[in-house]
Amino acid sequence: MGDKSLDQLKRMAIFAEVVAAGSLTAAARQLGMTPSAVSQHLRQLEQALGLALLHRSTRRLTLTEAGERYHAGCAAVLAAARSAEQALVRLRDEPEGELRLAAPIGFGGLLASALAPLRGHPKLSLRLLLDDAVIDLIEQRVDIALRVGQLADSSLVARKLGSMTRQLCASPVYLAERGWPAHPQDLLQHDWLASRSQSTGVEMLELEGPGGEQETLRLEPRAQASQVTAVHALCVAGWGISMAVSEDDRQALADGRLLPVLPGWRMTDMPLYAVTPRRGEQPAKVRHTLDLLAAWFARHGGAGVAGIARPLAQPGA
């Protein structure tokens, strides 16, 4: 492409910017040029075309009929150039800095696996904030948080990763001593373990049977803890029945240290989200991590938290 063609493309871009800005002065400010230089480029463009593109007055600029037709092509050229530049910026913008990611404690092992590809970015450091309590994303400067269940804060930007099923479980020792529940109502005669720190301590449990029947139970825990790791330890030690929600629970169910209770009854799946505190364009470290999490759950949903995390259904599935 010759110099004249390059000059013409530059003038087309300036023309499109003038139309978008509404005045020579505003366009000059956006382009980092003087108003006289912008005016000169417009005159050269009109001379090259042999047509007037703008009606100039002391108060405003308006497009001529030729200007209206020509502007659409100029705007498309400018948009294509900006799109190409943004694509290069995204390619160049490698993940770097500190990535602060919050999640429930039971997600530690999962995240170590899902985020393994981040090791290939030497300019990126990782800080995991694992807590079963809900963390304030703004106050803690969190980039991404994993949240299970319905989201109460509508100001957050949420991306659904999948859903989690939950399984009641107990240790062989406990079941040998207290017997096996045959129906949800039997749970009222058993010891319940809860991963909550509420002052009331009451937990509502909703179950659906194999025939679609519904049972809602009001359970008062014998023991409760604010962290799922503590509830897991209590359950394995034979303190009572709990809800499997962690990687530790999954492993214990796999090796027989915990056994499923009422396997024919199920609880409603819990949605799993990755949430961010900001809208608009995200830095590369956030975009890249969100894509890694989505891809991991798409591939390994069946091996997620407690071995019962389900990925989102694929289109057409």
Proportion of the chain above pLDDT 70, given as a percent: 87
Q: Is the pLDDT of residue 154 over 80?
A: no
Neighbour tally for 47: CB within 10 Å = 9
Residue 281 token pair = 């364009």
Torsion, Cα 14 18 23 28, to 10 degrees, reads -30
Identify the pLDDT of residue 214.
93
DSSP the chain: --HHHHHHHHHHHHHHHHHHHSSHHHHHHHHT--HHHHHHHHHHHHHHHTS--EEE-SS-EEE-HHHHHHHHHHHHHHHHHHHHHHHHHHHH----EEEEEEE-GGGHHHHHHHTGGGGG-TTEEEEEEE-SSPP-TTTTT-SEEEEES----TTSEEEEEEEE--EEEE-HHHHHHH---SSGGGGGGS-BEE----SS--EEEEEE-TTS-EEEEEE--SEE-SSHHHHHHHHHTTS-BEEE-SHHHHHHHHHTSSEESSTT-BPPPEEEEEEES--SSPPHHHHHHHHHHHHHHHHHGGGSGGG-EEEPPPTT-
167-260 CATH fold: D-Maltodextrin-Binding Protein; domain 2 (3.40.190)
- Residues facing residue 130 across a β-bridge: 103
3-89 CATH fold: Arc Repressor Mutant, subunit A (1.10.10)
Identify the pLDDT of residue 300.
66
Query: For the whole prediction, is pTM greater than 0.85?
Result: no
Q: Is the pLDDT of residue 279 over 80?
A: no
Identify the pLDDT of residue 306.
40
Identify the pLDDT of residue 317.
30
Query: What mean pLDDT, rounded, does the chain reach?
Result: 83
Band (224; pLDDT cuts 50, 70, 90) = confident
Band (314; pLDDT cuts 50, 70, 90) = very low
Q: Are the C-beta atoms of residues 133 and 269 closer than 8 Å to each other? A: no
Boundaries of every domain in the chain:
3-89, 97-165+270-311, 167-260
Q: What is the mean pLDDT of residues 163-172?
A: 89
Band (316; pLDDT cuts 50, 70, 90) = very low
Q: What is the mean pLDDT of residues 172-197?
A: 91
pLDDT in tens, 41-94: 989 988 988 988 888 766 678 888 888 888 888 888 888 887 777 766 655 677
Band (302; pLDDT cuts 50, 70, 90) = very low
* Domain 97-165+270-311 identical in fold to domain 167-260: yes
Q: What is the mean pLDDT of residues 303-314?
A: 40
pLDDT in tens, 240-250: 999 887 777 88
**Chosen CATH of 97-165+270-311 out of 3.40.50.300, 3.40.190.10, 1.10.1200.10, 1.10.10.10:** 3.40.190.10
